[in-house]
Amino acid sequence: MNPLQHAFDAVRSRWPHEPDLGLILGSGLGAVADAIAEPVVVPYAEVPGFARSTAIGHAGRLICGWLGGKPVVAMQGRFHLYEGWPIEKVVLPVRLMHRLGAGTLVVTNAAGGVNPRYRVGDLMLIDDQINLKFRNPLVGENDESIGPRFPDMSAPYDKALIAAALRAAMTAGIPLQQGVYAGMLGPTYETRAEYRMVRQLGADAVGMSTVPEVIAAVHAGMRVLGLSVITNACSPDDLGETTGEQVADAAAAAAERVRAVILGVIATR
């Protein structure tokens, strides 16, 4: 039996519902899961094939329940390539969410703002991405039961979901930026030259996650909504030191606004 089937059996035995969407909560954003009603909590250690979540601000729990009246499966913390996990483990939770029945993935992260207009605490809707990890979860033999050999990536982030998020934010009075996310391998924060590079390539924010997960979701035919919390301003000409604790704290301070946008989108579904 393959790892995906093992993981599916373990979660389905504890929670029999079919989720409407999957939710990945990034650094410092685990509190968004506090709004999930009737939660069934499954530690990652109890899901076969799952890695351990070792990053700051990642609790390492799968939470199944109801959000905005809809069944959801949420990752309270994710896996990163920089933690040393193979890429198939990094994207296994996305494939599990799809196998459980989720047709939509909401992915969140903490990111550095390379757009000079961005400020710490801003929320950014991701409308496109740049893969600077130089790793792809689809390398190798393709599983046709999940998706096609050559999935189209011309619009990885769903336009209708972006429009719904913009409406939800406007209704709640929450300002939203909109831009391109560049995914780097990490775990080091970028140099001044690297910040200049990603900005010249067209990125508005940079982080160490999300890109492999979105590729796996698109491969599986899922609709994707992406939200970044700008946790540090990355001005190459005025660059201060950044710590993981600072990033997690800045993301946690924005968790309530992230939750409001997500609930607003769910309400339209």
pLDDT at 173: 95
What b/e string do you get for 22-31 counting C-beta neighbours within 10 Å, with b at 16 or more?
A: bbbbbbbbbb
Residue 110 assigned ligand-binding role: yes
pLDDT at 211: 98
**pTM recorded for the entire structure:** 0.94
Contact call for residues 235 and 116 (beta carbons, < 8 A): yes
pLDDT at 59: 73
pLDDT tens digits in sequence order for the chain, 269 residues long: 688 999 999 999 999 999 999 999 987 677 788 889 999 999 999 999 998 776 655 578 999 999 999 999 999 988 999 999 999 999 999 999 999 999 999 999 999 999 999 999 999 999 999 999 999 999 999 999 999 999 999 999 999 999 999 999 999 999 999 999 999 999 999 999 999 999 999 999 999 999 999 999 999 999 999 999 999 887 776 666 776 677 777 778 888 999 999 999 998 87
Residue 245 assigned ligand-binding role: no
Residue 50 assigned ligand-binding role: no
Residue 145 assigned ligand-binding role: no
Residue 27 assigned ligand-binding role: yes
pLDDT at 177: 96
Residue 98 assigned ligand-binding role: no
Task: Assign residue 234 the CATH number of its domain.
Answer: 3.40.50.1580
Domain of 216 in residue numbering reads as: 3-267
Domain total for the chain? 1
Residue 58 assigned ligand-binding role: yes
